[in-house]
Structure 1
Amino acid sequence: MSSFQIVNPATGIVERTYETASDAAVGDALARAHAAFPSWRETPVAQRAAVLARVAEIYAERADELAAIITREMGKPVKQGLGEVGISGAIYAYYAEQGPGFLADEELTVATGGSAVVRRAPIGVVLGIMPWNYPYYQVARFAAPNLLLGNTILLKHAPSCPESASVMEEIFHEAGLPRDAYINVFASEEQVARLIADARLQGVSLTGSERAGAAVAEIAGRHLKRFVLELGGNDPFIVLDTDDLDGLVRTAASARMSNAGQACNSPKRMIVVDGLYDDFVAGLETRLAAMEPGDPSDAATRFGPLSSEAALDRVLELVDDARAKGADIRVGGARLDRDGAWMSPTLVTGVTPDMRLYREEAFGPVATVYRVRDVDAAVELANDTPYGLGSSVYTTDWALANEVADRLDAGMVYINAPGGTEPDVPFGGVKMSGIGRELGRYGVDEFANKKLVRAPKR
């Protein structure tokens, strides 16, 4: 039985099943991508950029259709789906416009004279293993820089996103990309392992869980393949002082519950100094209690279902464990009585280190709030996590904000704003949150051969 199927999380109904690729089909896809590489790498950079520019245009032209697909697949409210389509198109446009400059020769000054140039060249076929929570965006930040660079791509998407996976391949070809330069494969985990081990594959990028990341890194390491891992997060939202508490609470609620809380860089731990804690919690409790889950296909809906029953069960396990060990469930904390993967927005306080919720990522609509005495305690708690993806610091004192930013063990720090994403700034973390960077000029370098061309002094 195929694992690639659309199960509408708003209803629990299986809408369509796709056939898992045979071993022969997966092998053929790798052979085709490998054969397409020499031609694609020799295609002028301007032509490669033009393909990406056309992809961006198609995303804009088909935005309503694309948003509706992921609403069916993973329950994203259609308004948020349109936002995802927009940022995905912006990533393709960014690399089309700015990317050729990133590939320009980098001249070095050498003490012994002569010339030395670093030239960025593609390495071959790279594999992307993508998750369900942002089906278009995750692919864009991997595919855009690599196609610009001249690599060819195999793309293995999440089993719950077969329609969006197929339509992305269709859009690349419609935009003029050679058919074998980007190939979608409905591959199994075993087939993926064999792909990574194959000498024709040069690198792999995974966005997903720590378990999946560790498995991919182990195989890639054994076969000396490059890899990029973007994994989980348990991002702190540090509140030190504010001149607009109501606005800050509104920001916290919106950032945490967007996409039903299913974002790796969502602010999951609210860390609030003692003097603001009670008012912050009261305000957040009121806002979360007022959030009404609704039909994700309705443009007015801001809070939809989780992506699947399995995702819902994992979140409920963490909340139930915290409740059993004495945490205070201020709002929500339960499955909603309706068909589909529905859970109410949840607020938890009194979380202690013996609870799973303290260490593990709640990939769903659960906010935890911690009381701390001062800045030092806030930083200590923020860093007391195996993760290190994003973080945010709120204060009217900009010097203090920058001091705290330097002390946080995170790949990204946002000051007076929740963690987000932009095409031209790097995205990635440290510790168990992953290895490598995507987006911006950094996204080009992960799977590039930074080749030295050296000539002696004449």
Structure 2
Amino acid sequence: MSMQSINPATGQIMQSFSTWQADQISIALDQVEPAQAGWAALGYEQRAQFFRQLAQVFRQNSESYAHLITEEMGKLLKEARAEIEKCAIGCEHYADHAALYLRDEVIASDASRSVVVYQPLGIVLCIMPWNFPFWQLIRAAAPAMMAGNAVVLKHASNVPQCALALEVAFQQAGFPANTFRTFMISAAQAESMIADRRIAAVTLTGSCAAGRKVAAMAGQHLKKCVLELGGSDPFIVLDDVDIESTAQQALVARLQNMGQSCIAAKRFILQETIADVFVEQLQTLISQLRSGDPKDTGTTIAPMARMDLRSELQAQVERSQALGAQLVTGGFPIGEQGAYYAPAILDHVQPGMPAFDEELFGPVAAIVRVKNAEEAVQLANRTQFGLGGSVWTRDPARGEALARQIHAGCTFVNGIVKSDPRLPFGGIKESGYGRELSYHGAREFVNIKTVWVR
């Protein structure tokens, strides 16, 4: 079995890689296990030095990494550069804060001294997606490794070059050998690895279907897991907003990474009094976009990551139209080569349509019209997902009150949903469970142990 690195802008196969055999997996785990013990024996400041060096490696190689991301999954080059910088910031955040996040906690009890300590679990398997091929790994690995765990990476099959580049980056930063390893394995092999005694825990970012499989296997073997799955984030617009500026933010929120983000705005829930003008403004902004080489600074429409993903999105659009949604603009493949897709607006979307009920993982904005804020919240929560969401209004206090009613792991008021190392990130319902980032993420893969002394 092999993994292919295909440029989504051209369809060209850049490289092919063979997946590992069972004996290669076992040998590698035999190497990682003692490395983890040595890594755990280091102090926080010692581990922090390696992550500060990794941040330097990211910045020193930013251009080559960004070009690799763009070539392998199609992201606009400027977005790829921003992703690498975010990796550096994430490394520095945990280098600076892990000792605080994981410090011993002395608690009064009937003991002479009772203290809660945070100790590493062992080897954490990270099963990562292709849409942010560097950042997704760093935001999981940095807190896990600063806590003293080793990490093995199973990356998405369409970004094998990024997966190998990450391993080299850790090596260049001077990390002790085998504390971080990239495993060139299939999804089925990753699932079976969860049963291995040497794997202590697993974290997955991916689809709901993949999450169910990983959760079932982790549960069967009583191993901790964190799941960050799909999303259908609501973008609620009240009738007191500045429509022009809010529509500009809506465009960014929907088209970041060509809409291939779990926290991209997907359902635009508009008060009907401003809906016509808002949709018209959004259509005008989309008409000004230009497809082309994602490395070109003038390109604003990049390809989707794979042809099959484009086909799935097109099918969702067509099924929604058949159920009454109105296609305002876009919604068709662009060009003769590559996975380009014309950014689309689907208006008059309602529950029961794929554009409302399913995750649209691509550049399609679903417009939902409501009478008032109460109905907006009701429809925002009428989803199996619960990752993020946003509320847009001139009244921040009202916005916060509504944000607290949204069933999601995070809700932003007058801001685009994003991940931030200082804040916890994760979802509820079918968007998964557990948290990444902040001190919450640092404490996911540790033994929270009580030490009681008389």
Name the TM tier (shorter chain). Answer: over 0.9
The residue aligned with 1:160 is 158
Identical-residue share of aligned pairs (%)? 38
Letter in 1 for 2:127: I
The residue aligned with 1:396 is 394
Q: Which runs of 4+ in 1 moved over 3 A?
A: none
The residue aligned with 1:264 is 262
The residue aligned with 1:150 is 148
CA positional deviation for 1:289: 2.2
- Find out whether 1:36 has 2:35 as its counterpart: yes
- Find out whether 1:344 has 2:347 as its counterpart: no
Letter in 2 for 1:411: G
- Find out whether 1:188 has 2:179 as its counterpart: no
Per-residue CA deviation, residues 166-195 of structure 1 (Å, 9 max, x unaligned), is 111011111111121111001122321221
Distance 1:397 1:313 in 2: 41
Distance 2:265 2:316 in 1: 17
SS at match of 2:226: strand
Letter in 2 for 1:375: A
CA positional deviation for 1:131: 0.2
Letter in 2 for 1:40: W
The residue aligned with 1:299 is 297
SS at match of 1:407: coil
Per-residue CA deviation, residues 65-88 of structure 1 (Å, 9 max, x unaligned), is 000001111000100000111111
- Find out whether 1:8 has 2:7 as its counterpart: yes
CA positional deviation for 1:301: 2.2
SS at match of 1:432: helix
Per-residue CA deviation, residues 42-71 of structure 1 (Å, 9 max, x unaligned), is 012111110001001110111000000011
**Cα pair 2:111 2:452 within 8 Å, conserved:** no
Cα distance change of structure 1 residues 243 and 407 upon mapping to structure 2, 3 Å threshold: closer
Per-residue CA deviation, residues 368-400 of structure 1 (Å, 9 max, x unaligned), is 111100111000000000000000011122221
Letter in 2 for 1:103: L
**Cα pair 1:289 1:332 within 8 Å, conserved:** no
Q: Which aligned pairs between 1:27-176 and structure 2 lie closer than 5 A?
A: 27-110=26-109, 112=110, 114-176=112-174
Letter in 2 for 1:96: A
SS at match of 2:409: coil
Letter in 2 for 1:189: A
Structure 1: runs of 5 or more not aligned? none
CA positional deviation for 1:19: 1.4
CA positional deviation for 1:113: 5.1
1:433 to 428, 431, 434: 431
Distance 2:351 2:379 in 1: 11
Distance 1:104 1:241 in 2: 47
Give the TM-score, by structure 2 length. Answer: 0.98
Letter in 1 for 2:289: M
Distance 2:113 2:301 in 1: 58
SS at match of 1:387: coil
Q: Which moved more, 1:203-212 or 1:286-295?
A: 286-295
**Cα pair 1:253 1:284 within 8 Å, conserved:** yes
SS at match of 1:265: coil
* Number of equivalences: 454
Letter in 2 for 1:6: S
Cα distance change of structure 1 residues 242 and 85 upon mapping to structure 2, 3 Å threshold: farther
Distance 2:308 2:34 in 1: 39
Distance 1:359 1:284 in 2: 22
Distance 1:117 1:403 in 2: 38
Q: Which aligned pairs between 1:242-391 and structure 2 lie closer than 5 A?
A: 242-391=240-389
2:234 to 230, 236, 255: 236
Distance 1:83 1:101 in 2: 27
Structure 2: runs of 5 or more not aligned? none
CA positional deviation for 1:243: 4.3
Letter in 2 for 1:376: E
Letter in 2 for 1:177: F
Distance 1:426 1:352 in 2: 31
| Aligned Cα root-mean-square deviation (Å) | 1.1
Letter in 2 for 1:382: A
Q: Which moved more, 1:219-228 or 1:238-247?
A: 238-247
The residue aligned with 1:179 is 177
**Cα pair 2:393 2:399 within 8 Å, conserved:** yes
**Cα pair 2:102 2:443 within 8 Å, conserved:** no
Per-residue CA deviation, residues 8-60 of structure 1 (Å, 9 max, x unaligned), is 00011111101111111111122211121211110121111100010011101
**Cα pair 2:66 2:84 within 8 Å, conserved:** yes
